[in-house]
Chain A
């Protein structure tokens, strides 16, 4: 999933932001779990089926309608040529994944069909779906039942974290601010990171410290000079110069993928 293996040249692994939902959608249509899917955020497409097959929508924030009829959640739907799919946004969560049965014939870069935006540049423009595009899949034989599929986790705003490399740059008051009360996601937040409404100061002797640039990962909680905590997401930079206060548990990344601007979250230290 995504394109792991290239952080040494600055390319983040990327891939579906909510991996659990993406895999579950593929599982429902009998695809290999790493088959590409359509990721949608806030607004969904209207699609016309050109051939018969199976589709499934999993994630948060959307409902799937086939010919105007709302489908049960987390179930596959058989569709025929000519069927109209409408994916309508709802309230909870913000990202959903549409799986379509079969092997996708799509352009890949560094073995992945995932889009990656750098500044204003799309590194794989074909991965940003436009009106008129066709999802071309080739039917494949039924895949064996995947053994490593995790059940869908219920949405939760409690994010488990580990202390990060610069956790001791915070004093007790900073730790309390970061860990003992809900914090709110603010603009601009995207696949690169979630910004928060925090104003946290580092320990007095660390306020003027400049870090030597060092590796960061999805789930790293950095603190900017202005005191804003940023939670890095899957398309984030690979190296950073801000203190890395916390590291989210990898299973929390999918929960973070469903948070939108205005949502609250609670960072909770593992083992405390």
Chain B
């Protein structure tokens, strides 16, 4: 237990060249803050033998080179870092306001969701656009963006029979989560709309547009303006704003 910030941490071996850190700070946002802070500290201080990390909602997967650092030594080091962690030290991330179209032909699961959530499409889109989402993780696929804070009214089941092809830039919901698909790929989340730009650009220095701890709002646009926006470069459509 970290006394100053009150969270529980377990650091345990996950095979011979990784450690899994699980954080419980009471709720997802608070746990995510600790994961981010810990990840930042580990990466920034260039911990010896560290290869890469995968931060997620309430966990951090730490890959290390067993020829350069002993598992137990790194385990102790992570616990020591956690003891002194300052959650306020984490970069706040960027704020994004994203134009998105929730009309046909992009709202693939409209009928299914109207049935499951017992409400009409306009209310679903309104609820979805009314809140700010937090990026909790980028992963699964390159650039797949996991969002938390989906309104309760929109919590829904995954598809029993996943699609073999979800179009790239689709906006999706499933369970208590929302997400953005970076590429055409198989997927079982419910598709509600689409962004008029790619979220993962292979040629860019920073291929992933969004990073953990960013905040995202969606602004519904008509099909006509969506088609027009699709023609424009992403930089002219959205700009990150540093959070204060």
Contact = CB atoms under 8 A, between A and B. Distances in A.
Main secondary structure, interface of A, reads loop
Given A118-B142, A121-B184, A8 B14 contact: no
A162 interface: yes
B144 interface: yes
Interface residues of A, number: 40
B232 interface: no
Contacts of A220: 15
A250 B15 contact: yes
B141 A217 contact: no
B141 A118 contact: yes
> Which of the four size classes fits the interface of chain B?
35 or more
Nearest to A120: B184
A165 B11 CA distance: 11
Interface stretch (B47-55, B85-93, B114-122, B123-131): B47-55
A123 interface: yes
B143 A213 contact: no
Interface stretch (A9-17, A95-103, A259-267): A9-17
Given A4-B51, A217-B61, A10 B56 contact: no
Interface in B125-183: 137-144, 146, 165, 168, 175, 177, 182-183
A5 B221 CA distance: 37
A8 B142 contact: no
A123 B142 contact: yes
B53 to A, nearest CB: 6
A214 B141 CA distance: 13
A119 B186 contact: yes
Contacts of B60: 215
Contact of B16 (A5, A162, A164): A162
Contact of B61 (A10, A13, A212, A215): A215
Interface of A: 4-11, 13, 109-110, 116, 118-121, 123-124, 148, 162, 164-165, 210, 212-217, 219-220, 237-240, 244, 247-250
Top 6 A-B pairs, shortest CB-CB distance: A215-B61, A119-B185, A247-B15, A215-B54, A239-B139, A10-B139
8 contacts: A7-B61, A9-B143, A11-B207, A123-B142, A213-B56, A214-B20, A239-B54, A244-B14
